[in-house]
Structure 1
């Protein structure tokens, strides 16, 4: 398997999607944010309220805005007009904040990077809005959970 963004001369290149079929492409990415107890104790009604506002609501907006700008942030990504971007934020059984970002469009290239950027920026926004309460916040992972519509589908078990 070779790297798709390196040409035969070893130079960086954008992937040519001109010959690819237009299909519905979806991707879901997840970021996990670990909040210390003193921050978790501020959780009410499924969200955190700070002087800056509703943490999860602002994080959702930031993640969607970032996903739409992925082609501007990552040099070799195609600029894409997303058909949809949905971000869900909640707590798992370990009391960690789970940020799931699902992006979709009908196009010749996938939206994995858009989903990853959306989840990452939403997690960073949670950090930013809560850092006044603690600097012991940890964004412990960001990973692709699923993708459809390209050469091969993927779903994490």
Structure 2
């Protein structure tokens, strides 16, 4: 089984995962939205005019995880069994950490679903708050943990 997105002629293809065993797979992704202290205060006090920022961003992220194969070419559609998105405000650094956990029982991992969910949750925070803070910065979206499949467990050290 070749794990490449190109065949011997250099043509794009979806990787054949037919022979891979079904295993429980988990991916944890983290990202950040840095903002002005006043913006974070408005979010925490639920005073953003568009509504509860974290609840809307959570729903957007969950929906995005389910749409991943429609957004990323050659990404397999997966039966996602769980998506959890948590927001951890960091008042000292004036930012919000977004932590997404995606799970499935399948033949390929859910890292991309977690990355898409985290990215869209961050973009939704930006969209809902841009009227009061156009200087927000979205960044550091990264894989923190993954398990399942042939490559086993990955834990980010830093």
8 A Cα contact 2:27 2:145, kept in partner: yes
Give the TM-score taking structure 1 as reference length: 0.91
Cα gap change, 1:85 to 1:62, in 2 (>3 Å): same
2:61 is aligned, of 60, 63, 70, to 63
Aligned to 2:124: 125
1:17 aligns to what?
17
Does residue 147 in structure 1 map to residue 146 in structure 2? Answer: yes
SS at match of 2:80: coil
Q: Map 1:1-157 onto structure 2 (within 5 A).
A: 4-44=4-44, 48-92=46-90, 94-152=93-151, 153-157=153-157
Shift of 1:42: 1.7
More deviation in 123-132 or 9-18?
Answer: 9-18
Is the contact made by 1:49 and 1:55 (CA closer than 8 Å) also made in structure 2?
A: no
Aligned-residue Cα RMSD (Å) equals 1.6
Q: Name the SS of the counterpart of 1:129 in structure 2.
A: helix
Q: CA deviation at 1:35?
A: 0.8
Structure 1 110/84 Cα, relative in aligned 2: closer, same or farther at 3 Å?
Answer: same
Residue segments in structure 2 that go unaligned for 5+ positions in a row: none
1:42 aligns to what SS in structure 2? helix
Worse overlay, 14-23 or 146-155? 146-155
Q: Is residue 6–residue 12 contact of structure 1 (8 Å, CA) maintained in 2?
A: yes
- How many pairs align? 154
With normalisation by structure 2, the TM-score equals 0.91
**1:3 offset after TM fit, Å?**
7.0
Q: Please list every run of at least 4 consecutive aligned residues from structure 1 whose deviation after the TM superposition is greater than 3 angstroms.
A: none
Deviations 1:28-86 (A, max 9, x none): 111111011231232435xx432211001100000000001101111110111200000
Structure 1 pair 3/33, CA: closer, same or farther in 2 (3 Å)?
Answer: farther
Partner SS, residue 47 of structure 2: strand
